[in-house]
Amino acid sequence: MKQLLTLLLSVGMIMMSAACGSDLSNAGETDAPEEETAVQTESDTESVSVKSNILVAYFSCTGTTAQVADWIADETDADKYEIIPETPYTEDDLDYNSSSSRANREQSDASARPAILGNVTDINQYDVIFLGYPIWHGQAPRIISTFLESYDFSDVTIIPFCTSHSSGIGTSAENLRGLCPDTVTWSEGKRFSGSESEGDVNEWIDSLDLPQGEVNTVGKFNFETKTVLLNSGYEMPIMGLGTYSLTDEECAVSIAALLEFGGRLIDTAYMYGNEAAVGQAIRGSDVPREEIFVITKLYPNQFDNAAEAIDEALEKMGLDYIDMILLHHPGDGDVEAYLALEQAVADGKVHSIGLSNWYVEELEEFLPQVNITPALVQNEIHPYYQENDVIPYIQSLGIVVQGWYPFGGRGHTTEMLGDETIAAIAENHGVSSAQVILRWNLQKGVAVIPGSSNPQHIRENLDLFGFELTDDEIAQINALDRDEKHDWY
């Protein structure tokens, strides 16, 4: 746990005399803790509900505010974020009796904004923020102003709460509200004394009309939102565009078409040689960056210098973060390279990490050596090579499966799209063979990234939700399995 500040309360107001201490606790196709915090460092491998859309952000010293924050988070299943000053308060800083102490000087200066250590990861995922703080001289500590001015809280509901022996939340909350956009829904808030119990806090929460976020399940495809919740806590589109074999210009045009037609998932790799084109297309788009999910991969020849390779990918694409990075296939140093990916997650450079071309034996050997369960495993999957033993195993670990070569890959696409069984099913639904294959994947829980430089094909490959394959049709396609792998990975 990071250290929290310490602050002693006196009768009627804050006695700032304690030092800070520990708080309570298609070539067309792609190749292949003791308490929860707002920054996830270890993946949950079970199928569980999506993380709450509620955040409890708090500044605490003696542990009083932290205790209330814990109770709120437990009752609402919320994430927590501890507001920590970049320069910790010393005992002298918190001396209430000294007018020259740092805390007193900050409270006397309306423009004071103590710097905060760290930041909230992906704050846009939260609809409700409980904001907690102790009362200092009748007001919130200035570090709370720093927090409110560090993010765009438009359309968020903020519910303040404070801790004090006697001072109410009153003007402190009113003054904080003035720092927020008019589109913020600001609740009245609540004051708690040190004698308040968990039951008192829960009773207050029960009286609130909290917005209810949509419940999702890790690994379960949501065909309404066309996304899947990863075990990393992020949502990923279940279909998109693979960029293998696309040249820079083709790549940019294809991505533009994908985004125009509503696609939001882009798969690239160092070995494709088009990461720069991918980044340029994203930056040149009118689609907000946070709506686009970018996957790239490190090749084994990068494993020895994985940290530098991650930075190189960021620089090539010109992005502040990469949604997901995979190891392209097993190789010498893959465990160490994956640990570098884990560090990139901790550093905020990468949101989710995973593997490509890992199968049961490889996973059984690899997973015990790493800390974060992969969010995704990307393998060759198509009607002639179905991996019916591998897919359920990966999914049982809480890992999403994504398929490359959905149409069979190099030299096999024409045969597969012309398969009599698939063509007959397509005719029955009034769709193309490609759409049938992609829909078959989705209904098996396999995300798809078909590649194409043809805008019409890209549009068609996204149009997968106007029909549904029957159990009999699924069985017919399952019967086509030849265990026929079309690439060496």
User: Pick the catalytic residue: 272, 385, 405, 489?
Assistant: 272
As a dihedral over the C-alpha atoms of residue 87, residue 90, residue 95, residue 98, rounded to 10 degrees, the angle is: -70
Long-range contacts of 469-478 (CB under 8 A, 24+ apart): 469/425, 469/429, 469/436, 469/439, 469/440, 469/443, 473/425, 473/428, 474/440, 474/443, 474/444, 476/421, 476/425, 477/383, 477/421, 477/422, 477/425, 477/436, 477/437, 477/440, 478/386, 478/388
- Other Cβ atoms less than 10 A from the Cβ of 332: the count is 11
**Is 321 annotated as catalytic?**
no
Asked if 47 and 398 count as a contact pair (C-beta separation under 8 A), the reply is yes
| Token duo for residue 239 | 């279909």
Enumerate residues 6+ apart whose C-beta is below 8 A from 65.
Answer: 58, 59, 132, 133, 134, 162, 163
Q: Which region holds residue 150: left if phi is over 0, alpha if psi is between -120 and 50, else beta?
A: alpha
Q: Which amino acid is at 24?
A: L
H/E run at residue 438: helix 433-443
Asked if 330 and 362 count as a contact pair (C-beta separation under 8 A), the reply is yes
Q: What is the maximum span of the chain, computed from C-alpha positions, in angstroms?
A: 87
DSSP E strands: which ranges in 434-486? 446-448
Return d(Cα 128, Cα 136) in angstroms, integer.
25
| Catalytic (active-site) positions | 272
